[in-house]
Amino acid sequence: MLARVRGLVISCALVVASASAAEAAPKMVKGPYLQDLAPTSITVMWQLDEQVPGKLIVEGPGGNREIDVPADRIVEARIDNLEPSSRYRYRVVVGDATWDGEFATAPPIGKDVPFSFIVVGDSRDGIEQHRRVVERMSQEVPDFILGTGDMVDEGFRQDQWQQFFDVENATLRDNVYFPALGNHDRQGRGRTADSYRSYFSVPENGGETERYYAFTYASARFLVLDSNEYSFALTDQTAWLERELAAARDDATIRHIFVVMHHPPFSISLHGGALDLRERWTPLFEKYQVTTVFSGHDHVYERAEHNGLRYFVTGGGGAPLYPRRPHPNPVDVEAVKKFERTLHYLRVNVTGNHIEVTAIRADGTTIESTAWTDGPAEAPAPAGPVVASVPGAGAPSIKAAPVAAPPPGETTRSLGWLVGGGIVLALGAAVVVVRTMRQ
């Protein structure tokens, strides 16, 4: 997996060279980027500056595939029939131009394997600050990335969405991103999520399509909620939430439940804890003993504890940082155990029942690392260390590869991986659905 980090930089340079060589080729505006990771499927999305057809070539276990992709404003190409816990490489081909990426599919549902993920949010329109956070994040090798919302400052501003993807492009080419809907990501009088929905493809298992959803990775269930004012008051999402929590707790293969939503129930920063959330959802989190809750909205790092549950605020993704609230609610004061006004992200390691959340500043230094045991039964000890972390400025964290290593002699991704290799393209080997995007 270390090769994957190095290859990311090399790949970017080669992609530019490849694209520039084709004068008539359309320009890649966004992506390609990865969405909706599952054990046997994933979605690749991209946007060109003109609507032209292309191809998606996938190389990995189960055979190589070439998929015809029709023209669309934003392409959303789902690939099915993949092998779990396996590494694949993909190439988007449009005319003479190509763009490469790679991904690893999720483990089988319920398989108790170590994994890690990043949580980051609130980039909004802080472009250079956002870039600093993402550059530090690029030294990580997570299994996926969770967003706590407010990716842009104004949801109707397509130029801001473009800025978001410009900064994230190299990262999201090889890392699956699961977004939560922030209040600034919405648009119009109806506070719709039109742009958010057009740019992201998430599991469509929520009551209101794609504004909230759930997915399972290994032995953990993730509930990504829409905590905006016009949503969390709706009983349908609350009913859905409780059904999901109950189902996860009844499922013997699910060890952990992680909740992600934009607004924090507890905070001593500018916005403070959301009282409605404390009344409506926090009791459910306690009843079903969720592992932890990740939020954003306040542009700081906070760790809180309330009635035995841990809550993290991670809103340091690039937006202007917030101060402490002059007169915070006493409940928030009692709950918040750690506060820092800084650009940062979270790295979460899950090993059996062991949870470790490390908050990392944009300069690479560690704010703090919090670890605890979640659930009643301990998992079998892993074969080796999951993470070898080196605290201190600029020190990268390198995780052991969860999937098979590249073939001998291959240390980075290369544009030559599909050329001259006698590759057999198994047309139709995958079920591919290219859906027309909702406007």
Interface contacts to Fe ion, rule CB under 5 A: 150, 182-183, 297
Letter string b/e over residues 229-247, b meaning 16 or more CB atoms within 10 A of that residue's CB: eebbeeeebbebbeebbee
| Backbone φ, ψ for residue 146 (5° rounding) | -105, 135
Amino acid at 138: S
Cβ neighbourhood burial of 387 (10 Å; 0-12, 13-18, 19+): middle
Find the helix or strand (DSSP H, E) in which 77 lies.
strand 75-79
Q: How far is the CB of 360 from Fe ion (least distance, A)?
A: 21
Q: Is 301 left (phi over 0), alpha (psi -120 to 50) or beta?
A: beta
| H and E: helices and strands count for the chain | 9, 23
Nearest to 38 by CA among 83, 95, 75: 83
Q: Which is nearer to Fe ion, 56 or 304 (CB)?
A: 304
Q: How does DSSP assign 412-439, residue by residue?
A: S--GGGGSSS---B-TTSS-EEEPPPP-
| Radius of gyration from C-alpha coordinates of the chain | 21
Q: Which is nearer to Fe ion, 156 or 372 (CB)?
A: 156
Do the strands 177-179 and 213-217 form a parallel or antiparallel pair, or are they unpaired? unpaired
Amino acid at 371: A
Q: Which is nearer to Fe ion, 183 or 389 (CB)?
A: 183
Q: How far is the CB of 123 from Fe ion (least distance, A)?
A: 11
Q: Which is nearer to Fe ion, 75 or 313 (CB)?
A: 313
Q: Which is nearer to Fe ion, 58 or 119 (CB)?
A: 119
Nearest to 125 by CA among 180, 158, 155, 163: 163
Report which DSSP code applies to 64.
Answer: B
Q: Are 313 and 298 in contact (CB under 8 A)?
A: yes
- Give the CB-nearest residue to Fe ion: 297
Specify the 3-state DSSP secondary structure of 134: helix
Q: How far is the CB of 150 from Fe ion (least distance, A)?
A: 4
Which residues pair with residue 397 across a beta bridge? none
Q: Is 402 left (phi over 0), alpha (psi -120 to 50) or beta?
A: alpha
d(CA 305, CA 218): 26
Q: Which is nearer to Fe ion, 75 or 261 (CB)?
A: 261
